[in-house]
Structure 1
Amino acid sequence: MVLILGLLACVAPATIDAYLPAFSALEREFQVPPESVPQTLGVYMSAYAAMLLLHGTLSDAWGRKPVIVASLAVYITGSVMAALAPSMDWLLAARVLQGLSAGAGLVIGQAMVRDCYQGEQAQRTLSYIVVVFNVSPALAPIVGGQLIALLGWRAVFWMLAALAAAACYLCLRRLPETLPSSKRQPLAWRQLRSDIGQLLGDVPFMGMSVALSLLIGAQAFLIGAAPDFISHTLNLPETAFAVLFVPLVVGAMLGALASAHLVRHWGDITIIRCAYGLMLASCLVYTGYLASAWHPALPWAVLLPAFFTAGLAMLMPVVTMRILAQVPSRAGLAASLLGFCQMSTFSLVSGWLVPWVYGQPLRMSAAMLICVLLSAVSWFWLQLRADRCPS
């Protein structure tokens, strides 16, 4: 089950990373300025974030597996539309359809882990899923860049449709249903509004969600600015995205493995403190390097951010399980709201704030540092609040 959930989680990041090398090709084909192309990422993430509020809720009512399979069918439709897009507007519409469906596997997968495991075992399982999940950002830009060079940018969306079709087949054949009918929550929109309102008013839940979302914002600056950083800062071709993404993903995989191992020996708080320390140190050193370097160059331009992704992957499973543990009876809804906070932040940053750092790598690293600092302050304020008010 872990491998299937990891594959499902790969769909969403592959939809982002595989087509990043196509930005220049999209500018040429549709004759739009460079600032317009990131909108294809922004509208995808906006639709992704909006639908996250429903993925978990629908799975709480109808079961995990049916919602995943239906979402994959919608995703395949959107991918085919994107591959056939005759205009920029058509492509934007297709990206919205992809966004509405791509997050089901990741969100519902978290709820399925919560259905089956508790405590330390749940954190280890989620860490292993993160390891599989991180294969996608490593391979997607490499495969995407080669497909674009050989067959054109449309081949990327045909590849994404094939990936989703394979995932759908495996779900139908191998994925068990983890939420029995007796534990499902009736789908009542009035109750849903009430439950969302309660979660929004839950200071520990929302505080931790915002702290985690700020880290996703830091990652969004790094990922969203990657096409400009690789092409114009490092002066590399569109087939060279692996130069940046492989170190980032190796760092993330090592961080996730470390989290799975350390949870057996350290407490949650120790892991979280170490992860924040690693991310802060990475962003500080990276900012110092970019401020002092006449022209950023390999290897430091790509190795230093890898320590940030290692810290983020170390922290994610631990904090995610702590957040979902706040409302164990509505794990699906909690996962949805958590995902909504994260992806809304990613959407805002990648679609509309990233152009502000184009051609300015120092601005990018400074923005990442600010996000990590705000997240750390938020998290440790919550811990102080909990210590003073244990009830």
Structure 2
Amino acid sequence: MGERLGWRYAVLIPAVLAALSMIGPFSIDTPFPAFPELGRELGVGSEALQLIVTVYLGSFALMSVFHGPLSDAVGRRPVMACSIVVYVAASVGCALAGDLAVLLAFRALQGLSAGGATIVSRTVVRDLFDGAQAQRLMSRVAIIFGLAPAIGPILGGVLLQLGPWPLIFAFQAGLGVVLIAAVLLLLPETHPRERRVPLRVGAVLGGLVEVAREGAFHRLGWATALIFGAQFLYIGGAAVFVVDVLGQGELDFWKLFVPMIGAMMLGSWLCGRAAGRITARRLVSLGCTTSFAGGVVGVIVAATPAGDRMPWAVLGVSLIALGNGITYPTIQLMLLDRFPARRGAVVSLATFVALVLNAVTAVAVVPVIGGSALGFAVAALIGVGAGQLLWAWHCAVEDRDCAVSGEVGELEPVELL
């Protein structure tokens, strides 16, 4: 479809969708470099500052359940535009906050609203495209999406050189204004009225229940959540890992994020190149194995004296990220295609699962394992190992179902997606 409809669908719309998908992860770690300044100005310690991440993730997860189903009922553009308007207001509130309590309240509002862009933009991909083109577009979106965690702390550090910490949140507000204009002026409405579900509480919740009752959703959703969660240990705990474990400064977050996110972008690029050439199952298996190998390498390196030295300290997580880049776009399409009438609900519920896991990681896991590189590496290996087992389980169930029905397994290329 992209080639037939010209550059707007091949270039412009993918760029807008990628930018919309970035806003959620971008907002997580942009304030990281400002933590020392925030601690001094607000008179709080590092544990209290970690709430700036935790509150955002928790509220994002809470509202993520509803953004997708709402877009199934009222359309994609209204949900994205309205949510970004709220995000802009919340960002301004963060910039003007005079104490930690007020800052956390507006961070919660940021989290509640950011998912409207991040989640719904993924459903637009599948609304517009199918087959190998959908995978290629999802891969392009994932490449730009992957830039967000890398750009965030780097840009935050640059902004701190230009002004005080409120400038970071003022920049986020300005970004939101640009995205509102992009949604209203550049994106078509991809979910027509005749395909929408009723805007009723029962219909919205019914869609979520319909998705949650499907065993394949949990196997695929939790597999990708756990493997990405291994990478998120380092993202959510970057302030601890980079500064406390590696002994780096506030402008050194790039040493973690550039190789990690660069590897994820490379994986997404490989996923796009594989569209139509390699079966989805083989592609996901390759990505899961790569991430698991990264977990093993991370533990081995962390157990040596080089474990807290650059660049060796980020070798394992970079391999995990490479596997994530390969698997994530394909699994997203697998989930979307299982519920063509409930695409918003699928993405919402999958995002909720991942975010709850990430929030628990930030609150309960990072404080426990954050004292050493080995602690990070072991926790990451547990995550990728669990994700690998879930994917293997899903493949076994599919093989069994094919054998029972007498159908041949997935022999066609990824265009079946």
State yes or no: 1:367 paired with 2:406.
no
* Contact residue 8 and residue 167 of structure 1 kept, 8 A: yes
Q: Aligned partner of 2:393: which letter?
A: W
- The count of corresponding residues between Structure 1 and Structure 2 is 391
Deviates more, 1:179-188 or 1:302-311: 302-311
Match in the other structure for 1:226:
238
> Are residues 1:250 and 2:258 paired?
no
Which residue pairs with 2:312 in the alignment? Answer: 300
Q: Structure 2 CA distance, aligned partners of 1:184 and 1:309? A: 36
Rounded Cα–Cα distance in structure 2 between residues aligned with 1:134 and 1:371 = 20
1:5 to 9, 13, 17: 17
Amino acid at match of 1:230: V
For 1:1-391, list aligned pairs within 5 A: 1-293=13-305, 296-390=308-402
Q: Aligned letter for 1:122?
A: A
Distance in 2 (alpha carbons) for counterparts of 1:303 and 1:159:
32
| CA distance, structure 2, for counterparts of residue 367 and residue 356 of structure 1 | 10
How far off is 1:122 after superposition?
1.0
Structure showing greater relative contact order (alpha-carbon pairs closer than 8 Å, 6 or more residues apart): 1
Q: 1:208-261 CA deviation, whole Å, 9 max, x = no partner?
A: 111111123212211122112211222221011111111111111110000000
The answer on whether the counterparts of 2:24 and 2:115 sit within 8 Å (CA) in structure 1 is yes
1:306 aligned partner, one-letter code: S
SS at match of 1:72: helix
Q: Deviations over 1:349-371 (max 9, x none)?
A: 12332111222221111001001
Deviation at 1:277, TM superposition (A): 1.4
Identity %: 32
Q: Distance in 1 between matches of 2:185 and 2:143?
A: 23
Asked whether the 8 Å contact 2:17–2:121 carries over to 1, the reply is: yes
Provide the secondary structure at the position in 2 that maps to 1:187: coil
TM-score of the pair, normalised by structure 1: 0.97
State how far apart, in whole Å, the 2-side matches of 1:112 and 1:147 are: 32
Measure, in 2, the Cα distance between the counterparts of 1:79 and 1:87: 15
CA distance in 1, matches of 2:64, 2:105: 18
3-state SS of 2:98 partner: coil
Question: What value does the CA root-mean-square deviation take over the aligned residues?
Answer: 1.4
Contact 2:58 2:111 survives alignment (8 Å): yes
Residue deviations 1:159-206, cap 9 Å, x none? Answer: 111111111111111111111111111112112223322222211112
Letter in 1 for 2:347: A
Measured after TM superposition, the shift of residue 85 of structure 1 is 0.7
Segments of structure 1 that go 5 or more residues without pairing to the other structure are none
Moved more, 287-296 or 7-16: 287-296
Task: Give deviations 1:60-116, integer Å, cap 9, x for gaps.
Answer: 111111111100000001101111111111011011100011111121111111111
SS of equivalent to 1:36 = helix
Shift of residue 150, structure 1, vs aligned partner: 3.5
Q: Which amino acid aligns with 1:65?
A: R
Amino acid at match of 1:378: L
- Listed one character per residue, the Cα deviations across residues 264-309 of structure 1 (whole Å, up to 9, x for unaligned) are 2111111111111111111111111111126621121124321211
Counterpart secondary structure, 1:317? helix
C-alpha distance in 1, partners of 2:183/2:156?
25
What TM-score do the two structures reach when normalised by structure 2? 0.91
Q: Give 5+ residue unaligned stretches, structure 2.
A: 1-12, 406-417
1:25–1:153 Cα contact (<8 Å) kept: yes
Partners of 2:312 and 2:150 in 1: CA distance: 18
Deviation at 1:384, TM superposition (A): 0.6
Q: Could you tell me how far apart the structure 1 residues matched to 2:356 and 2:203 are?
A: 23
Q: CA deviation at 1:135?
A: 2.2
Q: Which amino acid aligns with 1:43?
A: V
Which amino acid in structure 2 is aligned with residue 207 of structure 1? R
Kept in 1, the 8 Å contact 2:84–2:176? The answer is yes
